[in-house]
């Protein structure tokens, strides 16, 4: 039952949520980002350069077995998932920036992910299988992110009053759907979570919190506005665990290598929610 919720229900639920995000966006949001590219550049630098370095340091610090260490690096190299856009929406981030970052990262990952993973295999597991990222998976992420959003934007363009009226109900519905997704994810991965909790929980929690923190604090230190920093935090901090699992199991043919992403895929939901509450508490309307 839990597996069905995550495999079938999650994409449907996120599609509905992304449609709701589209209702709150206009083309002007994306034009504004093009005029201020610093936020995009900083977030991409955090995602593509800082995170792999941080993760590599963690796998050495926690002394993970090579197969799990490579699995963590695979997770670190995976682009942000659609869940990042949902959290950005819930915690008043710049959703247009977040969606743009997710789309850009999904394309860049075609090159960056194989580079990071192959270097990790060479350093941590010499003689391991080389990896290439299936382009169809990038297209899938791209379409899940942009398809429903474009539809929502079209509805807003045709029915702006309806889109405005739906803002609050969509946010409430998003919280309800997110709760169901968390329950489903925990249920589907319960056995994996329990059997690997001791070996992986520490590094997964540390990596997730560091990713979120880096994604938020680096832009803030560089004087990037709060809403864009929130978007950066969730884009940099929430990875596409499903993509990492698919590559580990289908491309590398190594189920054990998928375990870090499986554990992360469950723990990231409550960790990101707690982080969002922490950084937005008392900051409503702050820039």
- CA dist 52 and 46 (Å) reads 9
Look at residue 129 and tell me if it is in a domain: yes
Whether 50 has a pLDDT exceeding 90, the answer reads yes
Query: What pLDDT sits at residue 139?
Result: 66
Query: What pLDDT sits at residue 204?
Result: 93
Whether 225 has a pLDDT exceeding 50, the answer reads yes
Q: Which residue has the higher pLDDT, 237 or 33?
A: 237
Query: What pLDDT sits at residue 1?
Result: 46
β-partners of residue 80 are 239
Domain holding 238, by residue range, is 2-276
Burial class (CB in 10 A: 0-12, 13-18, 19+), 228: buried
CA atoms within 13 A on the CB side of 114: 13
Q: The whole model's pTM is what?
A: 0.73
Instruction: Note every long-range contact of 124-129, with CB atoms under 8 Å and residues 24 or more positions apart, other chains counting.
Output: 124/59, 124/66, 124/69, 124/70, 124/73, 125/66, 125/67, 125/69, 125/70, 128/70, 128/252, 129/252, 129/253, 129/254
Query: What pLDDT sits at residue 164?
Result: 82
Q: Which residue has the higher pLDDT, 6 or 42?
A: 42
Average of pLDDT values for 4-23?
66
Domain count, the chain: 1
In tens, the pLDDT along 164-205 reads 888 778 767 766 766 666 566 556 667 766 776 777 888 999
Q: Which residue has the higher pLDDT, 119 or 25?
A: 119
CATH number of the domain residue 59 falls in: 1.20.1530.20
In tens, the pLDDT along 80-131 reads 766 787 888 889 888 888 877 877 777 677 778 778 878 887 887 666 555 5
Q: What are the distances in angstroms from CA 157 to CA 19, 85, 105?
A: 13, 21, 27
Average of pLDDT values for 211-224?
93
Look at residue 255 and tell me if it is in a domain: yes
Greatest Cα-to-Cα distance within the chain, rounded to the nearest angstrom: 60
Whether 53 has a pLDDT exceeding 80, the answer reads yes
- CA dist 220 and 17 (Å) reads 28
Look at residue 258 and tell me if it is in a domain: yes
What backbone torsions phi and psi does residue 155 show, to the nearest 5 degrees?
-65, -40
Look at residue 287 and tell me if it is in a domain: no
Query: What pLDDT sits at residue 104?
Result: 78
Say if residues 208 and 267 touch (Cβ distance below 8 Å). Answer: yes
Whether 4 has a pLDDT exceeding 60, the answer reads no
Of the pLDDT bands very low, low, confident and very high (cuts 50, 70, 90), residue 133 is low
Look at residue 285 and tell me if it is in a domain: no
Query: What pLDDT sits at residue 287?
Result: 45
How high is the mean pLDDT of the chain?
A: 78
Which of 113, 103, 112 has the alpha carbon at shortest distance from 144?
A: 103
Q: Where are the alpha helices (DSSP H) in the chain?
A: 2-4, 10-23, 27-35, 38-45, 51-61, 66-77, 82-90, 95-124, 135-158, 160-165, 167-188, 190-221, 226-237, 241-246, 259-280
* Highest mean pLDDT (candidates 19-23, 47-51, 100-104): 47-51
Measured N-to-C along each axis, helices 190-221 and 38-45 cross at an angle, to the nearest 10 degrees, of: 130
Look at residue 216 and tell me if it is in a domain: yes
pLDDT above 70 coverage of the chain, percent: 74
Query: What pLDDT sits at residue 192?
Result: 64
Average of pLDDT values for 200-227?
92
Look at residue 286 and tell me if it is in a domain: no
């Amino acid at each position: 039952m839990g597996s069905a919720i995550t495999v079938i229900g999650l994409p449907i639920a996120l599609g509905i949520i992304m449609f709701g995000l589209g209702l709150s966006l206009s083309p002007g949001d994306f034009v504004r980002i093009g005029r201020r590219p610093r936020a995009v550049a900083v977030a991409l630098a955090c995602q593509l350069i800082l995170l792999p370095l941080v993760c590599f340091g963690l796998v050495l610090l926690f002394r993970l077995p090579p197969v799990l260490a490579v699995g963590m690096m695979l997770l670190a190299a995976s682009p942000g998932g659609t869940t990042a856009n949902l959290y950005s929406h819930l915690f008043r981030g710049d959703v247009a920036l977040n969606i743009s970052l997710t789309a850009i990262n999904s394309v860049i990952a075609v090159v960056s992910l194989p580079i990071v993973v192959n270097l990790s295999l060479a350093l941590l597991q010499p003689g391991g299988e080389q990896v290439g990222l299936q382009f169809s998976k990038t297209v899938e992420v791209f379409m899940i992110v942009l398809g429903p959003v474009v539809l929502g934007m079209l509805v807003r363009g045709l029915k702006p009053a309806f889109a405005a009226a739906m803002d609050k109900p969509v946010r409430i519905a998003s919280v309800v759907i997110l709760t169901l997704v968390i329950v489903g994810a925990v249920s589907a991965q319960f056995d994996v979570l329990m059997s690997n909790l001791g070996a992986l929980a520490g590094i997964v929690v540390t990596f997730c919190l560091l990713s979120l923190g880096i994604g938020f604090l680096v832009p803030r230190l560089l004087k990037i506005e709060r809403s864009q920093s929130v978007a950066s935090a969730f884009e940099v901090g929430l990875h596409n665990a499903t993509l990492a699992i698919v590559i580990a199991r289908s491309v590398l043919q190594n189920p054990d290598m998928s375990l870090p992403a499986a554990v992360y895929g469950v723990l990231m939901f409550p960790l990101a929610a707690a982080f969002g509450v922490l950084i937005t508490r008392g900051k409503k309307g702050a820039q």
